Chain A
Amino acid sequence: MTTTVATQPAEPRAPARTPRRRRLARVLARLPGTTAVWLFTGFCLFAFAFMLISSFKASRDILERPWSLPATPRFENWATAWNDGGFGPAFINSTVLVVTASAVTVVIAGPAAYVLGRRPGRLSNGLNLYFVLGLGIPVQVMVLPLYALMNSLELINSLFGLFVLYVVVSLPFTVFLLTSFFASLPAELEEAAALDGVSAAMTFWRIMLPLARGGLLTATLLNAMGIWNETLLALMFIQTNDKFTLPLALLNYFQQQQFTGADFGALFAGVSISILPMIGLYAWLGRRITEGITMGAGK
């Protein structure tokens, strides 16, 4: 009897003999909770719908009739944001930074994670811990000496300087994530390659790297999203509008508007320029993103 219970199918299901009255009672008991979950979900959905829809409305409509749909969609909001609001150049700066920094991070962290994950021992464990330590250090602790250092290297207000910083702050998490990923790969292929006389570097490049593709993609994605939305470092190290990233352009446009009377339509077009790529990425590769996050937390 008990053995048959242990091999149930994966979906939870109510026992078939539950009387209808009891099931009804259960549904009623859960009603407040269910309602709360749906309200919360509805609010999230509303927030994003509001921002996207407002990007097609006139400023006055957003203020006076925030709950209405646009009478005729105003695409000129997007043109205003892109050209006059500075979101065009900012979009390009952000894209360049995201692509280069997240790629270079994986290129640097990947090999390190490989040797740390595949070579158990006291030295590896110690070094591993040394990298994990970085996860617990808030950026605001290291940012002040970095500011002085970048200043002396004349890398303040330089996208290259910001690129270097993004690689550095992404390293601890990437090494941490990829180390556990490499450690989970099977050992047989590596051993076979070694017996065949393949060099270790070649084994990494030709055998282990392709196996780790999923982990590398996850790490790249998470870093890309982090860099796309990063604000503190950008704020401290970038000064002129031509080098603004998207969060800076948003912040700047938002605060300028408070001076000059707001063009909320263009503001939300700028907001949409910032959020749509992330929503697209999430819709496309969401499973990888949540997988990476939970993998990081589960270890």
Chain B
Amino acid sequence: MSATTRSPLERRRGRIFAPFLAPALALYTALFIGPTLYSLYTSFTDWDGINSPQWAGTRNYSQLLNDPAFRSAFGNTLKIVFGVGAAIFVLSFGFMLMLREMRGRRVIRGVIFLPHIVSSVVLAIFWGVLLSLDGLLNQALDGIGIDPVEWLRPGWTMSAVLVALVWINTGYYVTILMAGVDRIPVSFYEAARLDGTNAWQRFRYVTLPLSWDVTAAAAVLWTITSVKIFEFILAFGGNQGALPPTYQWNNAMFVYGETVGGITPVNQFGYAAASAVTTLVFVAVLVIVLRRLMRREPLQF
């Protein structure tokens, strides 16, 4: 890095490198990466969040394995990541293909994006009003002579959450996929059409390969955002200040529930940290696998 080989521009830039970077780097390291590492450490301790942590080895982790609440929370996290994720991507691809040739596509895109820009608490309130016993859906069914259905019976509430999550997120992923597909030149499709291809072949050999990188990025994005889903579950399932029943928890809810959440917080910070770290490892592995599986030669067009 001798000064003689560098242009005046590079020299000048070098001078501002550290001062420009320092504030962001310091804040991020101290209050983002630091706490993450500390979480890693406390997951091996007994900790109430106030007194200093006591080393506990891997006990938190083995306890997690046998905790029915955590097992169901992790199961629900899997349902969200894979089940809801699959539904969103199938729907988004379908919508994208329909929207390409539909009238009013701009309006549709704008409207289905709406759930993404408002608080999940709002959507949970609406979802409750929609599905409650004397709610919107049952009143509509009543109008066509169908008896009210108890949509919110204990065995069904988690499914209600999953369906809602599909509804909330589909518009967002349609937007992302559409942006990828809109970059494909129309001439490709016309050439393919002249070659006598059908709609499926055009999707398989033009749309899919040329939007592959966007699809891969969207899959990674869903993975890392879906494990953070929390507000909707809390607002939809909880009532009167209490937490939702544990069979409706996911990992994010578990961390809140085992620490400061609820009417009588249990403050098991070390234990909750272990569950959070488990989530982090799960996400990391999944992202690595996804990137491996979806890696393709980048296509220039």
Contacts and interface: CB of A to CB of B under 8 A. Distances in A.
A166 to B, nearest CB: 11
Interface in B153-205: 167, 170-172, 175-176, 179-180, 186-187, 189-191, 193-194
Interface stretch (A77-85, A212-220, A243-251): A243-251
Nearest to B268: A144
**A-side interface mostly:** helix
A231 B119 CA distance: 8
Contacts of B140: 67
A282 B240 contact: no
A24 interface: no
B96 to A, nearest CB: 10
Contact of B122 (A10, A45, A271): A271
Interface string A59-77: 0001100110000000000
A290 interface: yes
Contact of A298 (B24, B179, B259): B179
B187 A5 contact: yes
Given A41-B112, A236-B260, A148 B50 contact: yes
B256 A286 contact: no
B98 A34 contact: yes
A258 interface: yes
A137 interface: yes
Contacts of A129: none
B299 interface: no
A144 B277 contact: no
B117 A278 contact: yes
A169 interface: yes
Contacts of A181: none
B101 interface: yes
Interface string A244-284: 00110011001100110000100100010011001101100
Nearest to B25: A112
Contact of A147 (B101, B107, B218, B259): B259
Nearest to A253: B125
A242 interface: no
Interface string A108-121: 11011011101100
B33 A134 contact: yes
Interface in B215-238: 217-218, 221, 224, 227-228, 230-231, 234-235, 238
Given A143-B255, A255-B240, A119 B17 contact: yes
Contacts of A112: 20-21, 23-25
B198 to A, nearest CB: 11
B208 interface: no
A127 to B, nearest CB: 7
Contact of B129 (A66, A131, A228): A66
A151 B47 CA distance: 14
Contacts of A8: 186-187, 190
Given A108-B24, A140-B251, A165 B111 contact: no
A40 B126 contact: no
A28 interface: no
Given A6-B187, A37-B102, A67 B108 contact: no
B101 A271 contact: no
A40 B169 CA distance: 12
B117 A118 contact: no
Contacts of B31: 142, 146, 149, 164-165, 168
